[in-house]
Amino acid sequence: MRQVLIVHFSQTGQLDKLAQSVCAPLLQHADIQLDFLALQPAQPYPFPWPFLDFFRIFPETVLMRPQPLLPLAVDASKRYDLVILAYQVWFLSPSQPMSAFLASPEAAQLLKGTPVVTLIGCRNMWLMAQEKIKTRLGELGARLVDNIALTDACGTAASFLATPLWLFTGRQKPYSWVPRAGIAEAEITAASRFGEAMAQRLTLNDRPIEQPMLAGLGAVRIDEKLIASEKVGNRSFQLWSRLLVALGPQQSRRRAAGLLVYIVFLLCLIVTVVPLSALLKKLLAPLLKERTQREKAYFAGPSGE
């Protein structure tokens, strides 16, 4: 019998729905045993988020210094044929619960030599978070064989408003004039195709999974206009994170004062650097076509667009 583990954490419930859609075909096979590991922070994160509390965790999230988890309800000595890591993106980084899991001794045991599929549900920027996941998986000796990334349906510009309102109010559409935040329900339902492809490969034979299973299924879509913005944003986040950590612990007044300065800076970044970067990328597109195609192919891997 093939053994599959899915590790997941969702604040809003959206990622759990996505994970359930992907896993539904696996559950229908009697010769596939599917185990679920829901990550539980020792200190639960609030949802909806109080405004300042949301930004207080910014430095530790970016630097991947997460809060601890409750003991993991998993047999770390068990060997799995496949592990699915379902995670959210916080501040261009993996969510703190997923970072905490990847830093755990259990993850070191479970993932060594194990094929991994990453499953992302986020606003739209996930490239830098996935790069951090890739690095950690490499350190653990895991093999990333596929990546699935689904993003908000309302578009890049609208999501700058819709997604924060969801986080701070707890409602996907708090006002009639705001587009609904989140991944389209039809896309979540259609994600079962990824589970079907995984089930087909798992039941084909008993050999280890070494090649992508989801090629040609549209597992990811790369928006080339956001590549440069993510790189710039990630460098900025790293710098500000170290500065804010140096100011003091999360609840300190100095950290709070620094955060207020950072929030103003971030808003300026969003309304200036992001659109200017996109415009510059568009103007230079003819000159950078080959480079852009190489970057798209790289970030789309291993599953491809």
Domain ranges of the chain: 2-223, 224-299
Tokens representing residue 304 in the block: 């491809």
56: three-class secondary structure by DSSP? helix
Task: Give the integer Cα–Cα distance in Å for 178 and 173.
Answer: 6
Q: What is the pLDDT of residues 220-237, one digit of tens each?
A: 999 888 888 888 889 989
Decide if pLDDT at 135 tops 80: yes
Q: How far is CA 114 from CA 27, 42, 72, 102, 208, in A?
A: 20, 27, 18, 13, 9
Name the 3-class secondary structure at 147: strand
- Alpha helices (runs of H) in 153-223, residue ranges in sequence order: 156-169, 185-190, 192-204
The pLDDT tens digits of the residues spanning 58-117 come to 999 999 999 999 999 999 999 999 999 999 999 999 999 999 999 999 999 999 999 999
Residue 79 — φ and ψ, nearest 5°? Answer: -95, 125
E-assigned strand segments in the chain: 2-8, 32-38, 82-87, 89-90, 93-94, 115-122, 143-151
Of residues 268 and 299, more confidence is placed in 299
φ/ψ of 7, rounded to 5, equals: -105, 125
Higher pLDDT, 49 or 158: 49
* pTM, full prediction: 0.93
Options 3.30.390.30, 3.40.50.360, 3.30.1490.100, 1.10.10.10; CATH for 2-223 is 3.40.50.360
- Who has greater pLDDT, 285 or 206? 206
- Return the pLDDT at 274: 65
Per-residue tokens: 295:
């970057």
**Average pLDDT over the chain, rounded to whole?**
92
